[in-house]
Amino acid sequence: MKVTETADQIPVARYAVNSLHKVRLGGVNQWVLLRGQDRSRPVLLMLHGRKDSAFPYARYLGRTARLEESFVVAYWDRRGSGKSATREVSPDSITIEQYVSDTLALAARLKGHLPSCKIVLF
């Protein structure tokens, strides 16, 4: 994955991760925010069904629920939602089958990008 922007700051540690990535999944650019205090921790891939962005949940889940202490949380704006809602996304492409395909493609990318081989769906 290519880092294209840097997001909100998290406690700085030697192995921390805090980065925003644009990834091409299923022919569509989509965005994922990776945050965690230790990049060797398992990945918690956040799947949400709303059209709004997943990124605002980072403050609550990361700081209040403290998930970023135990996981690298992947806040994903899937096709048609949040930062990934663009004209390039055809309404016909927003199907359960495409979501599953995009999820599997993102999981494969995360496995190649982060040292942990474990991905937990949330």
pLDDT average per 10 residues of sequence, the chain (122 residues)? 47 77 94 93 89 82 86 92 84 88 95 88 92
Q: How distant, in Å, are the alpha carbons of 10, 30, 82, 88 from that of 121?
A: 22, 18, 19, 26
E strands in the chain: 3-5, 17-25, 28-36, 43-46, 72-77, 119-121
**DSSP code of residue 60:** I
* Residue matched to tokens 């605002």: 56
The C-alpha atoms of residue 71 and residue 9 are separated, in whole angstroms, by 16
State residue 3's pLDDT score.
43
Burial class (CB in 10 A: 0-12, 13-18, 19+), 46: buried
State residue 8's pLDDT score.
52
